[in-house]
Structures are given as C-alpha cells and as structure tokens.
Amino acid sequence: MVTPDLGAAWRARCVRAEELGYDVIQVPDHLGMVGPFPALVAAAEATERPRLGTFVLNTVFWNPALLAREIATTDALTGGRLEIGLGAGYVREEYERAGLEFPSPGARVGHLARTVTELTRLLADETWQPRPVQRPFPPLLIGGNGDRVLRLAAEHAQTVAFTGARMTEDGLRVLNARELATRVAAYEGFAARRSSPAERNLLLQMVTVTTDRRAAVRDLLPHLPHLSVDEVLELPLLALGTVGQIADQLRELRERLGFSHFTVLDPYMEALGPVIEELRGG
C-alpha cells in the first residue's frame, strides 16, 4: 500500500513497485491524503502489470450511487485493472474533520453492508452508466475482523482482508497469533458454503530485514506494554528477520491460515522486495 506523492514522484513510486514485483498497488482512503481514484488512474498510466486497488474505502464517506460511478469510470480508465477494497471506517477524528457524526460500530458495519448490496446491484445492471470494463463489476475486497464484516466478506468478496488489530475502549489493540487464528476460523465457518474460496489478505504493519530481531522491536515495546518481547516477535503483522526468515514466516501463514495476499505499508515497500524475489524463486 503506497501513499501517493505528487506528479512525477508518485509515478516513479509506482514504477518502482512494479520493478520490485508487487502484484497490486493499493491506495488508502483517509482525509489528509490524496483521493484514491485519481491516484489509481495515474498509477495505471505509469505501469503495465500491477492491478490497482483501494485499501480500503471508508464506505460511510461514500454515497453508493456516486461510488458506483467512480468505480466504473476508474475501471474503464485503468483498462480493467481495478480492485475495490471496502471497510467500515474507524478513525473518529476524520469524521469530525469532515463535519460528520461518528456512527456506532454497528451503524458503520450496517452502512458497509448496504453499500456492498447497492454497488453489486448497480454495477451488475447492464443499463447502468458508465459501465465498468470488468463484468459484472471489479473484484471486491472487504476488510475487517468482526463477525458481521467477515460474514459479509464470505458472501460477497473475492478477497477478505484481516486486520491485525481490534478496536477497544483504549483504541486499537493488536491481535496475537492465536487471536488471528480465531478470526480466520470464524470466517471459515461463514464461508463454508462458498463454491470457490476467497483469497485471504493480511496487512503487515512492519517489515524489517535484520539479523537481530529483538533489537528491531525495541522501539515498539512502549506502545505494546501488555506484551513481552517474545510475544511481540510472534505477532503475525510484523515481518522481521533475514530475507529467508521473513519468506518462511509468510509461507507458514499461508500454510497454517491460508494467507496468500499480503499488503505492506509504504515505508516498507523496498524492504519486502527481496522477500518477494525469494518467494517467487522458491
């Protein structure tokens, strides 16, 4: 997931992502950052192979009919390379800056569900204009961890994105390996009747190639006071170690929990490059 800069710098960043072997260039949807759809169109102009996605749209900010127009237009302008990532939104400050009421978690998930229903209905309608290139509509990614979101993803999404944290009264709390496995198991129950499995995505919050894993997490410890150093090192959302160790970690996540689609934050784009090469070679 890359954070767009302006003009030539953004295009160069996208070209570099393609050179490193990334399969998807994703843009977030946050106030204070550029609009995701124009950025994805620019990314398409600079690259040839990667698909292009939102990771993820805060659906409360979007009217479904207007969003359907943006999706169809962007899919056409990117030559059918678009993937649509949707989420319920969680940053209270962004709602306040936009002059919007911050809905309850249940209301946000409800809006996400209504948005999914309306988008799929509108974009699958052959009379809807403009038309997306991909039929009936671009692949859908739904991100979250709660039962309602995972059930929605099981019913509608081609990719389910598991977040490595959950919201508590004290803010976001990271999930350990056992908690993530519990969420994956819940999703598997909801998706048991699918005719074909969805791809599973995990956002890696940190990627550091190092021979000293304990030193790599030292600065994180004050932010994770409830975890020991060993527990931090076991967090699935941290990819730390040599290139071979990180590649083995991602293989283990694939074999044990079914993850085959990993998103990395912009500052770690270069760090994951050698790991991508290692995985493709192995």
Radius of gyration of the chain (CA): 19
Residue 281 confidence (pLDDT): 85
- Residue 217 CB: number of other CB atoms within 10 A? 21
Rounded average pLDDT over 211-230: 93
Give the model's confidence band at 2: pLDDT under 50 very low, under 70 low, under 90 confident, else very high: low
Residue 169 confidence (pLDDT): 66
Sorted by sequence, the CB contacts under 8 Å of residue 259 that are 6+ apart come out as 162, 200, 201, 202, 250, 253
Condensed to tens digits (0 to 9), the pLDDT of residues 71-113 reads 999 999 999 999 999 999 989 999 999 999 999 999 999 999 9
- Residue 222 CB: number of other CB atoms within 10 A? 7
- How would you class 191 by CB atoms within 10 Å of its CB: exposed for 0-12, middle for 13-18, buried for 19 or more? middle
CATH topology of domain 7-204+258-264: TIM Barrel (3.20.20)
Residue 126 confidence (pLDDT): 95
Contact 165, 174 (CB under 8 A): yes
Exposure class string for 116-146: b at 16+ Cβ within 10 A, else e: beebbebbeeeebeebbbbeebbbbbbbbbb
Q: How far is residue 233 from each of residues 146, 213, 239, measured CA to CA in Å? A: 25, 7, 9
Give the model's confidence band at 170: pLDDT under 50 very low, under 70 low, under 90 confident, else very high: low
pTM value? Answer: 0.94
269-281 vs 243-257: helix crossing angle, rounded to 10 = 70
Give the model's confidence band at 280: pLDDT under 50 very low, under 70 low, under 90 confident, else very high: very high
Condensed to tens digits (0 to 9), the pLDDT of residues 43-52 reads 999 999 999 9
CA 63 to the chain's CA centroid = 21
Q: What are the structure tokens assigned to 41, written together? A: 């169109």
Instruction: State how far the Cα of 190 lies from the Cα of 170, in Å rounded to an integer.
Output: 29
Condensed to tens digits (0 to 9), the pLDDT of residues 102-121 reads 999 999 999 999 999 999 99
- How would you class 5 by CB atoms within 10 Å of its CB: exposed for 0-12, middle for 13-18, buried for 19 or more? middle
Give the model's confidence band at 226: pLDDT under 50 very low, under 70 low, under 90 confident, else very high: confident
Give the model's confidence band at 173: pLDDT under 50 very low, under 70 low, under 90 confident, else very high: confident
CA 7 to the chain's CA centroid = 24
The distance between the two most distant Cα atoms of the chain, rounded to a whole number of Å, is: 58
Residue 165 confidence (pLDDT): 79
| 249 Ramachandran zone, left/alpha/beta (phi>0; psi -120 to 50) | alpha
Domain positions in the chain are 7-204+258-264
Q: What are the structure tokens assigned to 228, written together? A: 């020991």
Mean pLDDT rounded to a whole number for the chain: 94
Condensed to tens digits (0 to 9), the pLDDT of residues 6-36 reads 789 999 999 999 999 999 999 999 998 999 9
Rounded average pLDDT over 274-280: 97
